[in-house]
Structure formats: structure tokens, C-alpha cells
Amino acid sequence: MPSAGFRKILLRGDTKFAQTKHLDRWDATGKIRFIFGFEARDSLKARADELPADAYSFLERSPRYQIKTVPREKPERVKPEIVRERGYETIHLLEEMVAEFDYQPVACKKSYRMIVLRKRVGVDQGQMRLFEEYRYLFYITNDRKMTAEEVVFSANDRCDQENLIAQLKNGVHALTAPVDNLVSNWAYMVMASLAWSLKAWSALLVPVSPRHQAKHKAEKRTLLRMEFATFCAAFIQMPCQIVRGGRRLIYRLLSWNPWQGAFLRLVERLHSCWLC
């Protein structure tokens, strides 16, 4: 993979992708970092239990959604009360702690970092606590710079390919299969996928001026990762008045949005490409 021109590569995946026979080869390149989930075997659980108490630290997760305005009042949660009244068993997460140790898989000739995520959960039935137990998740990585917490957060993040699949499904609706035969649905999927490709192509084509390099690079990166619905609202569904006169067409934008600067730079780039 480095021979394809990539300077750095990050491989992530769950336990099904932890191909230990390839880890040494990937690590030897010096350009590939990997973070894979690892099967919670009894031997690993035993090593996690043998770690001293001070080897663990609490894992603090940030809120899932950052509220930029006044937080709204949450509706009353009625489902937990119904579950308790009917006596169903429920599992509650009490705390999360992380630690690490060196681990050498059988198929490897060198050891790597094994990150332990230990979850303490409580099992309730109705209003009675039945028992508490530890559950373990393991992650193997060759990254020696990230903290254990950062490794866990990185492993929990969605991969770019998963974002692409989500956008093809819910953004451009390329996977809806609206017609009655396989060939037509394939053609529809290809045409709808082109909309996403054009969106990514336009983001890569937005120029960056040296004077505002940091700002323009941030806009370009955000535009490249932008959801398709947001892209449509910012770049495509833009009210415009078209005036023909004096042997020219005049496009008058009738509203403003924060992306008009990037939009006009893109238009200028497209005009220069057309003139060339």
C-alpha cells in the first residue's frame, strides 16, 4: 500500500480484521499504523485481571452532541419505568476504565500494545440489583504515541468507507433500488453515486489562496467531509436571479450563506479550467 503513493496509512477494524500474520509486515514499513479489535480470550482477561489497580484509569467520554445554544428540556423517559415494572432484566454501564500491556500474538515475532477497556456493568431485574460484573474489550495497535484513551476513541470512530456507504444510502439515495430489474437499479445506483463523486470532486477543486491558507484549507476539509444534504443547501439550492443583457448573463445571488466565498472561488476555478 505505501507503494501506491500514500505517505501514511491507518488501518482500523473490529476483531474480524485482526490478521495477526500480517502485523509484522505492516509495522515494518514504518508508514502503516493499525488499530484492531482483538478477541477477548480467557488468557487476555486473566492478564487484565492481574494488572495492578493503579494501571487502570477512568475513561471519560465527551457528550455525543455538542449543544451550541440553550439546551432543550428532554422528554420524560417512560420506557425504563415500564421495564422495571414488568421485571425485565436490564444492563447498566457503571464505569469504564482503560489500561495497557505488551502482547505478542502467536503469529508475530514482536510485541505490540494491547489496550484493555474494562466495563463494569450492573444487571438489574425490576428494582433489584442481581449482580455486577466486568466485561472486557481489547485493541491491538503499533501506535506508541497515542494514549490508551485516544486508541479507544479512534477504534470507536466510524471509518471513512462507512461514512461513504451511509451517504450513498441516506444522502444521494443510491441504494434505494426504485425500479423493477437488476440492470436498471444498477444504472440508477451508478448515476446517483456520480452526484456524490461530483460533490467530492468540487471540494478537491476549491482553490486555496496563500493569504488565507489556513482558513481555506479548513473550509476545503469541511466541504470534503460534508453530508450531501448540507452540500445541497449550501451550494446547489441557492436562490439566484438570471438576467440576460448586454450580450452577457448575470447571475444575482438573492441570499447569503457562509459558503458563498468557497462557492465563488470554485466558480472562478471552473471558469479558468474552461478557458484553458
Task: Provide the residue ranges of all domains of the chain, joining segments of one domain with +.
Answer: 2-64+79-156, 165-275
Strand, helix or coil for residue 182:
helix
Predicted TM-score of the model (pTM)? 0.65
Q: pLDDT at position 2, please? A: 53
Measured distance CA(224)–CA(130) in Å, rounded: 49
Q: pLDDT at position 67, please? A: 61
Residue 234 per-residue DSSP state:
I
What are the backbone dihedrals phi and psi of residue 145, each rounded to the nearest 5 degrees, phi first? -100, -35
- 139 within 8 A of 114, measured Cβ to Cβ: yes
Q: pLDDT at position 100, please? A: 95
Strand, helix or coil for residue 263:
helix
* Tally of CA atoms within 13 A in the half-sphere of 256 that contains its CB: 2
Measured distance CA(12)–CA(26) in Å, rounded: 13
How far, CA to CA in Å, does 33 sit from each of 25, 79, 255?
Answer: 11, 43, 46
Q: pLDDT at position 101, please? A: 95
Scanning the structure block, which residue is given the C-alpha cell 466558480? Answer: 267
Q: pLDDT at position 3, please? A: 57
Per-residue pLDDT of the chain (276 residues; tens, 9 = 90+): 555 567 888 888 888 777 889 999 999 988 899 999 999 999 999 999 999 999 999 998 887 666 666 777 778 878 878 878 888 888 889 999 999 999 999 999 999 999 999 999 998 888 888 889 999 999 999 999 999 999 999 988 876 677 788 888 888 888 888 888 999 999 999 999 999 889 988 888 888 888 888 999 999 889 888 889 899 888 888 888 999 888 888 888 888 888 888 898 888 888 877 655
Q: pLDDT at position 48, please? A: 93
Element (H, E) at 26: helix 20-28
Residue 156 per-residue DSSP state:
H
Measured distance CA(81)–CA(19) in Å, rounded: 44
Q: pLDDT at position 209, please? A: 87
Q: Which of 265, 250, 261, 156 is nearest to 207 (CA)?
A: 265
- Count of Cβ atoms closer than 10 Å to residue 235 Cβ: 19
